[in-house]
Amino acid sequence: MATLWLFIFVGAVIALFWTSRQAAEAAKDHAQHQADKLQVQLLSVACQKRRLGILKSGKPGIKSQFIFEFSSDGETVYQGVLHLENSRLMKADIPPHRMAS
**pLDDT tens-digit readout, 62-76:** 899 999 999 988 889
Would 15 be classed as within a structural domain?
yes
Q: Could you tell me the CATH number of the domain that includes residue 52?
A: 3.10.450
Indicate the SS3 state at residue 85: strand
Q: Which residues of the chain have pLDDT under 50?
A: none
In angstroms, the CA 99 to CA 101 distance is: 6
- The dihedrals phi and psi of 46, each to the nearest 5 degrees, come to -145, 145
Would 5 be classed as within a structural domain?
yes
pTM: 0.83
* Domain count along the chain: 1
Would 101 be classed as within a structural domain?
no
Burial category of 69 from C-beta neighbours within 10 Å (exposed 0-12, middle 13-18, buried 19 and up) = middle
Task: Identify the pLDDT of residue 41.
Answer: 93
Q: Tell me the residue range of the domain where 59 lies.
A: 1-93
Would 99 be classed as within a structural domain?
no
Task: Identify the pLDDT of residue 37.
Answer: 92
Tens digits of residue pLDDT in 24-33: 999 999 999 9
Would 39 be classed as within a structural domain?
yes
